[in-house]
Amino acid sequence: MNEYNFAYLDEQTKRMIRRAILKGLAVPGYQVPFASREMPMPYGWGTGGVQVSAATLTPDDTFKVIDQGADDTTNAVSIRKFFENTAGVETTEETEKATVIQTRHRIPEAKLTGDQIIVYQVPIPEPLRFLEPRETETRKMHSLEEYGLMHVKLYEDISQHGAISTSYAYPVKVSERYVMDPSPIPKFDNPKLEMDAIQLFGAGREQRIYAVPPHTKVVSLDFEDYPFEATKADHPCDLCGAEDSYLDEVIMDDAGNRMFVCSDTDFCRSRRAQGHEGRLSKEGAV
Amino acid sequence: MSAQTQFSGGFDNAPIDAAHAFRAAMTVMARPGEIRLISGAQPPAPLSVAAGTLLLTLCDPETRVHLAGDLDTGTVRQWLTFHTGAPISEAPEADFAVGSWQELGPLSQYRSGTPEYPDRSTTLIVECDDLQQAGAELTGPGIKDTARLSLPNVPALRANAALYPLGCDFFFTSGDRLAALPRSTQIRVEG
């Protein structure tokens, strides 16, 4: 294969990460501290996710990486190549064929199965951090289940904007105990957090790992009179016509023309392959 | 004991064997009630293949291991020390404890974590004569509707679950079979 240990990390580091993953699964939504290593990529490029993937992969796995839903962006391509080189695993862009999926800021549109594992890259794992900067205090708040401040924040959204304006990294309560940052996924993806697959979250710079086992109750925080809403741009995809997928808005020229396309590139590609068409498919716009 | 026993029985290919073993361990911890096969180590008796493989996968000089009762033999100590470098400790300090349910003793002697760091709790590896998807009914994270697992002592494990988010976590091993019970699982007695 090459001169690296399997999946780059040394065995002792992998054991440390694996122990953290097991404790994370045992206490869903709780952030387990771990001794994050320096990786051959900068913080913010998914070092947490990469370390969790490295500790999780076996040679039999098929690995997929997405960045904001896309398989072909710099971040996704470099992480995929990293594991092709250091672990020798198969890689794919097809969600259904992957056994381990590392993701930055999206959950794929295709429903994940019990045979799959999804690894999230997390920048700020602490959902209370922007409300309370001190780690000692947020630890205490989690231990006392003192989450009133988070509801005040959502309430202030409503009083200022008339609706809960938080649109990504929307806080959830896991298994009726811990409030958790689902990583900066759009709140459109929040309902998918209750899934059949194992979900692992890695924050490299912040040195935290947490997890959500399959079929775990995950509730987006809200109020009785302002219930949670999974929102998306009110358009069909201009390439594949999908009305139920999360969309990116793309500015096309200086005249203000724009298009909406699926953020999940594999979902959009497979729909187009099945013959689905959108508003711009005939113009050869892409 | 012969040097042969002490130095042999480790992983043939540590990174690959440990990766497969961890996948099994993670799967059962994420899905209480499921049973997976796990192998790779050939530990000295009376350690089972599953318990030995789990120890090689998760333990190293950073983890204190408690060997309970009959398992605490010179042979097992030397094998574990050679292959993992893990310090052997008493029950209250242990990160991992291995033994039969009777010999592991009361759960109250193990660390159950602190309110601010519930992860700092002992993981118990319980050697069982048999492991079946039958018996106590389990619900909670990782379980679709309900699951069943043969548990050694339901009242003690329910008391442990009642400490949530504190509490110990359990692996159950029998031969090369592995199951797990995290503290988050609710247990109902059969009936």
Q: Which residues of A are catalytic?
A: 29, 237, 240, 262, 268
Q: What is the CATH number of the domain that holds B112?
A: 3.40.50.11310
- 3-class secondary-structure state, position B36: strand
- Domain extent, residue B172, equals 3-188
The predicted structure's pLDDT at residue A284: 55
- d(CA A51, CA A69) in angstroms, rounded, equals 20
Lookup: tokens for A93: 């862009």
Bridge-based pairing state of the strands B65-67 and B96-100: parallel
Domain boundaries, chain A: 11-139+166-220, 232-286
Nearest-CB residue to A213 (from B15, B19, B142): B142
Residue range B55-83, pLDDT digits in tens: 999 999 999 999 999 999 999 999 999 99
Report yes or no: A154 and A221 within 8 Å, Cβ to Cβ: yes
How far apart are the CA of A264 and the nearest CA of chain B, in angstroms?
27
Tally the C-alpha atoms within 13 A of residue B178's C-alpha that lie toward its C-beta: 29
Nearest-CB residue to A25 (from B30, B115, B116): B30
Which residues from chain A sit within 8 angstroms of residue B31, using beta carbons?
Answer: 213-214
Lookup: tokens for B131: 């492991």
Nearest C-alpha neighbor of B120 from the set B86, B93, B140, B142 = B93
- d(CA A223, CA B44) in angstroms, rounded, equals 58
Nearest C-alpha neighbor of B102 from the set B153, B178, B151, B32 = B153
CB contact under 8 A, B184 and A55: no
CB contact under 8 A, B30 and A211: yes
Lookup: tokens for B119: 């992860």
- Looking at chain B, which residue has its C-alpha nearest residue A145? B115
- 3-class secondary-structure state, position A14: helix
How far apart are the CA of A59 and the nearest CA of chain B, in angstroms?
7
Q: Report the Cα A144 to chain-centroid distance in Å.
A: 27
Q: From edge to edge, which strands make up the β-sheet containing A218-220?
A: A178-180, A172-174, A218-220
Which residues from chain B sit within 8 angstroms of residue A214, using beta carbons?
Answer: 30-31, 142, 144
- Positions in chain A short of pLDDT 50: 1, 285-286
Nearest-CB residue to B62 (from A16, A25, A139): A16
Q: Which residue is it, tokens 């009110």?
A: A234
Please report the ipTM that was assigned to this predicted complex: 0.97
Report yes or no: A239 and A264 within 8 Å, Cβ to Cβ: no
Which residues from chain A sit within 8 angstroms of residue B18, using beta carbons?
Answer: 11, 14-15
- Looking at chain B, which residue has its C-alpha nearest residue A4? B15
Which helix (H) or strand (E) segment holds residue B148: the answer is: strand B147-149
Please identify among residues 61-120 of chain A the ones whose CB lies closer than 8 Å to any CB of chain B: none
Q: How confident is the model at residue B191 (pLDDT cuts 50, 70, 90)?
A: low
- d(CA B166, CA A159) in angstroms, rounded, equals 37
CB contact under 8 A, A214 and B31: yes
Q: How confident is the model at residue B6 (pLDDT cuts 50, 70, 90)?
A: confident
DSSP code at position B108: G
Whole-number Cα distances in Å, A61 to A66, A92, B99: 16, 10, 33
Q: How confident is the model at residue B96 (pLDDT cuts 50, 70, 90)?
A: very high
Task: Flag whether pLDDT at B1 surpasses 80.
Answer: no
Which helix (H) or strand (E) segment holds residue A269: the answer is: helix A265-273
Q: Which residue is it, tokens 């459109």?
A: A188
Report yes or no: A218 and A173 within 8 Å, Cβ to Cβ: yes
Q: Establish if A20 touches chain B: CB-CB under 8 angstroms.
A: yes
Q: Give the phi and the psi of residue A99 in degrees, each rounded to 5.
A: -100, -30
- d(CA A148, CA A144) in angstroms, rounded, equals 11
Q: Report the Cα A161 to chain-centroid distance in Å.
A: 27
Which residues lie across from B148 on neighbouring strands? B137
- d(CA A40, CA A33) in angstroms, rounded, equals 21
CB contact under 8 A, A28 and B169: no
- d(CA B28, CA A114) in angstroms, rounded, equals 12
Lookup: tokens for A31: 């952030």
Whole-number Cα distances in Å, B55 to A38, A58, B3: 27, 18, 20
Residue count (chain B):
191
Amino acid at A9: L
Q: What is the DSSP string of A207-259?
A: TEEEEE-TT--EEE---SSS-------SS--TTT--SSS-EEEEE-STT--EE
Counting residues of chain B whose pLDDT is more than 90, the rounded percentage is 93
- d(CA B112, CA B110) in angstroms, rounded, equals 6
Lookup: tokens for A88: 């020798």
> Options 3.40.50.720, 1.10.10.10, 3.40.50.11310, 1.10.1200.30; which CATH number does A11-139+166-220 get?
3.40.50.11310
Amino acid at A148: G
Report yes or no: A183 and A169 within 8 Å, Cβ to Cβ: yes
How far apart are the CA of A278 and the nearest CA of chain B, in angstroms?
37
- Looking at chain A, which residue has its C-alpha nearest residue B15? A6
* Tally of domains in chain B: 1
Nearest-CB residue to A26 (from B18, B20, B29): B29
- d(CA A149, CA A146) in angstroms, rounded, equals 8
Which residues from chain B sit within 8 angstroms of residue A56, using beta carbons?
Answer: 22-23, 26
Q: Is the peptide bond before B165 cis (omega within 30 degrees of 0)?
A: yes
Cβ neighbours of A269 (radius 10 Å): 16
Amino acid at B148: R
CB contact under 8 A, B115 and A144: yes
Task: Flag whether pLDDT at B135 surpasses 80.
Answer: yes
The predicted structure's pLDDT at residue A191: 97
Report yes or no: B185 and B138 within 8 Å, Cβ to Cβ: yes
CB contact under 8 A, B15 and A5: yes
